[in-house]
Amino acid sequence: MSRFIIAAAVFLSLATSSFAAQQVVDKIVAQVNGEMITLFDLNERVRGYITQVEKKAYNPDSPGFKEIQDRILRTMIEDILLKQEGVRLKVNISDTEVDSRIREMREKAGLSEENFTQQLRVEGLTRKQLAESLKKDMLKKQILGYMVQRKVVVTEDEIKSFYDANKGSLRVESGQRIGLIMVAKMDEAKALRQRILSGQIAFPDAARKFSIGPGADQGGDLGKVELKDLAPELRQALENVKPGGVSEPVLLDGKPVLLTIGGDSGQAAAKSGGAPDFEAVKDSIYERLYREKLEKQFTEYMDKLRAKSVIKVNL
């Protein structure tokens, strides 16, 4: 067999296997009233969830992958059902409305546009991801408000009953208090770190004086954050940092940052017996009960939508 024929045979073999692989990747895993979801789109959503929410490496062979895949496919089906229902009811969330909601969040936090973007990066998010999440949430709330007749009501008695039954496990705030200083150059970050460690300047004072990042006016304080919710590079930088210590400089959006963990890390518990005052947790209990009731109504509503839709799953 000539070298040319061998090469052609190999090429055809690779092309065939590549085409087969493409068919597998583009396999239709679900149809919702005629609208399709492909395996590629599903796996991209799964990848984003695993790497950005669970902060783990994407591995289709890992235990639990199929469970996550099934759960996210269910969510994607719900998204399509809601979008179709929005069209039917003429409910639309414009990009302008989403941008306005993001601006409200930014202004409420007292952050500039640049610092807000940096804050999202700290939490491992992009503005596009935030916008997509907000748009779905706003659509969901509008449709529920449009279709659900009875109001979601949480009474004072319900809040008090929940408090009495759970006050032993309630906490005012959780996470670890994180401080951040962002500067323009790596040499500047290294020198500033040495000044802080040597006691020449306190971390909050250094943040107010030199930081160009989020929370500078508050001494670099980002509030209490769960370490798992931080961007991977920041979480890694804090691995060996003890409360009150300062991390080695690490790049965030191309700029070096220093991080510290406050001394009041962990869950802040209360006065006697570890239970917080009722007033301190009243609002958070209300939000929790309200969300649970809203989710219950949402689930019932989605079940009705599914029942009257044509849904085919082939995963």
Tens digits of residue pLDDT in 73-130 = 999 999 899 889 888 888 888 889 999 989 888 887 777 888 888 888 887 778 888 9
What share of the chain in percent tops pLDDT 70? Answer: 84
- Domain assignment of residue 11, yes or no: yes
- Domain assignment of residue 289, yes or no: no
Structural domain harbouring 33:
1-65
Give the Cα separation of 132 and 148 in Å (integer): 24
Choosing from 261, 277, 304, the residue where a domain stops is 261
Distances (CA, A) of 220 to 37, 61, 211: 44, 41, 7
More confident residue, 132 or 169: 132
- Domain assignment of residue 270, yes or no: no
What pLDDT sits at residue 11? 39
Answer whether residue 19 shows pLDDT above 70: no
CB within 8 Å of 228: residues ≥ 6 apart: 55, 235
Phi, psi (deg, nearest 5) at residue 173: -155, 145
- Domain assignment of residue 37, yes or no: yes
What pLDDT sits at residue 235? 85
- The CA-to-CA distance between both ends of the chain, in Å, stands at 43
DSSP annotation string for 215-253 = TGGGTTEEEEE-GGGS-HHHHHHTTTPPTT-BPPPEEET
Confidence of residue 10 (pLDDT cuts 50, 70, 90): very low
What pLDDT sits at residue 67? 93
Choosing from 45, 65, 85, the residue where a domain stops is 65
Structurally, how many domains does the chain consist of? 2
R_g of the chain computed on alpha carbons = 25
Highest mean pLDDT out of 104-108, 176-180, 190-194, 294-298? 190-194
- Domain assignment of residue 122, yes or no: no
Distances (CA, A) of 14 to 10, 11, 23, 52: 6, 5, 14, 34
Mean pLDDT score, 241-270 = 77
CB 163 within 8 A of CB 170: yes
Choosing from 21, 39, 65, the residue where a domain stops is 65
CB within 8 Å of 32: residues ≥ 6 apart: 77, 80, 81, 84, 309, 310, 311
Whichever domain contains 248, its CATH number is 3.10.50.40
CB within 8 Å of 30: residues ≥ 6 apart: 36, 37, 73, 76, 77, 311, 312, 313, 314, 315
CB 89 within 8 A of CB 147: yes
Confidence of residue 1 (pLDDT cuts 50, 70, 90): very low
Lowest-confidence segment of 71-75, 145-149, 249-253 by average pLDDT: 145-149
Answer whether residue 313 shows pLDDT above 90: yes
What pLDDT sits at residue 143? 82
More confident residue, 173 or 162: 162
Mean pLDDT score, 263-280 = 57
What pLDDT sits at residue 167? 79
- Domain assignment of residue 8, yes or no: yes
Answer whether residue 263 shows pLDDT above 70: no
Highest mean pLDDT out of 33-37, 121-125, 238-242, 272-276? 33-37
- Domain assignment of residue 107, yes or no: no
What pLDDT sits at residue 283? 83
- Domain assignment of residue 109, yes or no: no
Give the chain's mean pLDDT: 81
Answer whether residue 2 shows pLDDT above 80: no
